[in-house]
């Protein structure tokens, strides 16, 4: 159930206007992850988002980040609903919420067929599966017997298409969107209404060299353009199958990944905020595919946190 007492404005303030999204933590040892999390917090960011594929189990990763920092909000973007049953997810959400009050956000999503193939799962109808999963979580809240949190942490849905965004409005506390332009943010806000959190991810490369920046960005887009969920969504915004070839043409790459100066990145993030985002989770790409962009996070902080 979406929390009847959920206060989107309070949580938007806790998150801040801009946070860090990273999928690179899996490539670093736990001690490095702890150091990086403390640096992110010291730079002034209020939130960090991390996902789940075939690396660290995401609730364990969230606990590592929470324990390493004092006030940083940690959000899953996303926890794969196929990785654990609804009771396990609800129990993890409530346990982290009780241990770290007002510092955990649970984002959940139906993931993608290739990632389910690795798990030996069949990719069933995503919308129906998610609706049933939310029913299971709602039941789990009633039978959970450990010490509960004073307030249940927010539950967000990974959502691209209008039906999943509508489900987020109906059954969750908001939506986390990924690989989307600001135009999608505007549409999602209209569907969600004013009382749900909307958190898009925005990827960027800090380089003024178009060739270098697009090469780094295209490695990123190539991975996601193999997944129909993303290409189907982009076709709603004027892209065609020919635009997706070879990692995406320049127009597509530039739509998904903002590159250039710090001011250019800030302008794209502001476009999402102006379109209705409560918080934008910024993912920084660097040439080292497994490296943490610790310097870039610090360089971006003053401009992004001023938005």
Given a contact cutoff of 8 angstroms between Cβ atoms, the answer to whether 307 and 266 are in contact is yes
Report yes or no on 237 lying in a domain.
no
pLDDT at 124: 73
- Average pLDDT score, the chain: 95
Is 239 strand, coil or helix? coil
- The pLDDT score that the predictor gives to residue 120 is 65
175 has pLDDT over 90: yes
Give domain status of residue 258, yes or no.
no
Cα 124 from Cα 129, distance rounded (Å): 7
Residue 68 lies in a domain: yes
Mean pLDDT of all residues in 92-97? 98
Amino acid 113: pLDDT: 60
Residue 261 in any domain: the answer is no
The CATH number of the domain where 52 resides is what? 3.20.20.30
Q: With 60 as the cut, is the pLDDT of residue 112 above it?
A: no
227 within a domain of the structure (yes/no): no
Q: Is the pLDDT of residue 110 over 80?
A: yes
116 pLDDT above the threshold of 70? no
- Domain-embedded: residue 235: no
Residue 194's Cβ-count burial label (10 Å; 0-12, 13-18, 19+) is exposed
In a domain, 208, yes or no: no
* pLDDT per position as a tens digit, 10-39: 999 999 999 999 999 999 999 999 999 999
Q: Is the peptide bond before 137 cis (omega within 30 degrees of 0)?
A: no
Q: What is the pLDDT of residue 125?
A: 87
pLDDT in tens, 247-294: 999 999 999 999 999 999 999 999 999 999 999 999 999 999 999 999
- State how many domains the chain has: 1
The pLDDT of 61-69, averaged and rounded, is: 98
- State in Å, rounded, how far the first CA of the chain is from the last one: 32
Residue pair 97/151 in contact (Cβ under 8 Å)? The answer is: yes
Burial 42-70 (b: 16+ CB within 10 A, else e): ebebbbbbbbbeeebebbebbbbbbebbe
Q: Which domain holds residue 107?
A: 8-203+269-283+294-305
271-277's contacts with Cβ under 8 Å and 24+ in sequence apart are 271/182, 272/182, 272/185, 272/200, 272/202, 273/17, 273/307, 274/182, 275/182, 275/183, 275/185, 275/186, 275/189, 276/185, 276/186, 276/188, 276/189, 276/190, 276/198, 277/185, 277/189, 277/198, 277/199, 277/200
Determine the 3-state secondary structure of 109 from DSSP: strand
Q: Give the CA angle between residues 12, 108, 71 to the nearest 5°.
A: 40
Asked whether residue 188 is domain-assigned, the answer is yes
Note whether 268 and 221 are within 8 A (CB).
no
> What is the average pLDDT across 65-70?
98
């Amino acid at each position: 159930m979406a929390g009847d007492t959920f206060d989107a404005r309070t949580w938007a303030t806790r998150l801040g206007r801009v946070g860090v999204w990273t999928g690179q933590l899996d490539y670093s040892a736990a001690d490095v992850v702890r150091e990086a999390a403390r640096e992110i917090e010291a730079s002034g960011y209020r939130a960090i988002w991390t996902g789940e594929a075939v690396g660290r189990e995401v609730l364990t990763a969230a606990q590592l980040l929470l324990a390493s920092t004092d006030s940083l909000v940690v959000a899953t973007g996303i926890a794969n609903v196929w990785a654990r049953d609804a009771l396990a997810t609800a129990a993890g959400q409530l346990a982290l919420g009780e241990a770290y009050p007002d510092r955990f956000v649970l984002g959940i999503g139906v993931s993608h067929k290739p990632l389910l193939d690795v798990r030996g799962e069949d990719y069933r109808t995503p919308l129906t599966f998610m609706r049933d999963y939310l029913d299971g979580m709602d039941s789990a809240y009633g039978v959970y017997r450990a010490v509960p949190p004073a307030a249940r942490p927010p539950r967000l849905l990974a959502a691209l298409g209008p039906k999943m965004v509508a489900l987020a409005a109906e059954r969750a506390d908001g939506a986390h969107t990924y690989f989307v332009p600001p135009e999608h943010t505007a549409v999602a806000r209209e569907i969600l209404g004013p009382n749900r959190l909307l958190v898009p991810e925005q990827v960027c490369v800090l380089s003024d060299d178009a060739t270098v920046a697009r090469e780094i960005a295209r490695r990123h887009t190539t991975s996601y353009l193999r997944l129909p969920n993303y290409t189907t969504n982009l076709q709603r915004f004027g892209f065609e199958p020919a635009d997706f070839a070879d990692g995406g043409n320049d127009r597509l790459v530039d739509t998904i990944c903002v590159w250039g100066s710090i001011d250019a990145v800030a302008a794209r993030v502001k476009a999402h905020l102006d379109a209705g985002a409560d918080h934008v989770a910024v993912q920084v790409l660097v040439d080292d595919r497994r490296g943490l962009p610790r310097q870039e996070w610090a360089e971006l902080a003053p401009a992004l946190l001023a938005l």
